[in-house]
A and B are shown apart, each in its own frame.
Chain A
Amino acid sequence: MAIEHTETTEHVVPKRVYYTIFVILMVMTYTTVQVAYFDLGRFNAVAALLIAFFKASLVVLFFMHVKYAPKLIKLFVLGGLFWLAIMLGITMTDYMTRTPQEFPMSRVNTVQPLPAAHVPTALLG
Chain B
Amino acid sequence: MSTAVLPRENYLNTDYGLRSWFLTTDHKRICILYLLTITLFFAIGGAFATVMRLDLATPAADLVSDETYNKMFTMHGIIMVFFFLVPSIPATLGNFLIPMMVGAKDVAFPKLNLASWYIFTAGGCFTLWALISGGVDSGWTFYTPFSTLSSNTNVTLAALGIFIAGFSSILTGLNFMVTIHRMRAPGLTWFRMPLFLWSMYAASLIFVLGTPVIAITLLLVAAERVLHLGIFDPARGGDPVLFQHLFWFYSHPAVYIMVVPGMGVVSEIVAAFSRKRIFGYTFVAFSSLAIAILGFLVWGHHLFVAGISVYSALVFSLLSYFVAIPSAIKVFNWTATLYKGSISFATPMLYAFGFIWMFTIGGLTGLFLAALGIDIHVTDTYFVIAHFHYIMVGGAIMAYLGGLHYWWPKMTGRLYPEGWGKLGFITVFLGFNLTFFPQFILGYMGMPRRYHAYPPEFQTLNVLSSAGASILAIGYLIPLVYLLWSLKYGPIAGPNPWGAKGLEWTTSSPPPKHNFETTPIVTEPAYNYSELEETAVV
Question: Which A residues are closer than 8 A to B by beta carbons?
Answer: 72, 79-80, 83, 86-87, 90-91, 93-94, 97-99, 102-103, 105
State whether B311 touches A93 (Cβ < 8 A).
yes
| Most chain B Cβ neighbours within 10 Å, of A72, A86, A87, A105 | A87
On chain B, the residues within 8 Å of A97 by CB distance are: 309-312
Question: Which of A86, A99, A103, A105 contacts B296 (CB under 8 A)?
Answer: A86
Question: Which of B181, B307, B308, B309 contacts A72 (CB under 8 A)?
Answer: B181
Q: Classify the secondary structure of A's interface with B.
A: helix
State whether A94 touches B309 (Cβ < 8 A).
yes
B199-225 at interface with A (beta carbon < 8 Å): 209, 213
Q: At the interface, yes or no: B245 with Cβ under 8 Å from chain A?
A: yes
On chain B, the residues within 8 Å of A79 by CB distance are: 209
State whether B209 touches A94 (Cβ < 8 A).
no
- How many residue pairs, one in A and one in B, have C-beta atoms under 8 Å apart? 44
Q: At the interface, yes or no: B43 with Cβ under 8 Å from chain A?
A: no
CA–CA, A72 and B190, complex, Å? 15
On chain A, the residues within 8 Å of B308 by CB distance are: 94, 98
Question: Which of B181, B249, B315 contacts A93 (CB under 8 A)?
Answer: B315
Known: A97-B310, A97-B311. 7 other contacts (CB 8 A): A72-B181, A79-B209, A86-B297, A87-B213, A87-B296, A90-B315, A94-B312
Shortest Cβ distance from A103 into chain B, in angstroms?
7
CA–CA, A94 and B249, complex, Å? 14
Q: At the interface, yes or no: B324 with Cβ under 8 Å from chain A?
A: no
CA–CA, A97 and B315, complex, Å? 12
Question: Which of B181, B234, B297, B307 contacts A90 (CB under 8 A)?
Answer: B297
Listed A/B pairs (18) with beta-carbon separation below 8 Å: A72-B181, A83-B209, A86-B297, A87-B213, A87-B246, A87-B249, A90-B297, A90-B315, A90-B316, A91-B245, A93-B300, A93-B309, A94-B300, A94-B303, A94-B309, A98-B309, A99-B309, A102-B307
B176-192 vs A, CB cutoff 8 Å, 1 = contact: the mask equals 00000100000000000
Residue of A nearest to B315 (CB): A93
B260-301 at interface with A (beta carbon < 8 Å): 296-297, 299-300
CA–CA, A97 and B104, complex, Å? 51
On chain A, the residues within 8 Å of B307 by CB distance are: 102-103
| Most chain B Cβ neighbours within 10 Å, of A79, A83, A86 | A83
Q: Classify the secondary structure of B's interface with A.
A: helix
Shortest Cβ distance from B211 into chain A, in angstroms?
12
On chain B, the residues within 8 Å of A94 by CB distance are: 241, 245, 300, 303, 308-309, 312
On chain B, the residues within 8 Å of A90 by CB distance are: 297, 299-300, 315-316
Listed from nearest, the 10 A-B pairs whose CB atoms lie closest are A94-B312, A97-B311, A97-B309, A93-B312, A94-B308, A98-B309, A83-B209, A91-B245, A93-B315, A87-B249
CA–CA, A30 and B328, complex, Å? 55
On chain B, the residues within 8 Å of A98 by CB distance are: 308-309
Shortest Cβ distance from B259 into chain A, in angstroms?
20
CA–CA, A10 and B312, complex, Å? 46
| Most chain B Cβ neighbours within 10 Å, of A80, A91, A102, A103 | A91
Shortest Cβ distance from B442 into chain A, in angstroms?
30
On chain B, the residues within 8 Å of A91 by CB distance are: 242, 245, 249
CA–CA, A95 and B300, complex, Å? 12
CA–CA, A57 and B79, complex, Å? 38
On chain B, the residues within 8 Å of A87 by CB distance are: 213, 246, 249, 296
Residue of B nearest to A80 (CB): B209
CA–CA, A83 and B296, complex, Å? 8
CA–CA, A108 and B245, complex, Å? 25
On chain A, the residues within 8 Å of B309 by CB distance are: 93-94, 97-99, 102
On chain A, the residues within 8 Å of B297 by CB distance are: 86, 90
CA–CA, A79 and B177, complex, Å? 14
CA–CA, A90 and B234, complex, Å? 21
CA–CA, A48 and B176, complex, Å? 37
CA–CA, A72 and B178, complex, Å? 11
Residue of B nearest to A86 (CB): B296
On chain A, the residues within 8 Å of B303 by CB distance are: 94
Shortest Cβ distance from A120 into chain B, in angstroms?
28
CA–CA, A94 and B307, complex, Å? 9
CA–CA, A94 and B311, complex, Å? 7
On chain A, the residues within 8 Å of B249 by CB distance are: 87, 91
CA–CA, A35 and B365, complex, Å? 53
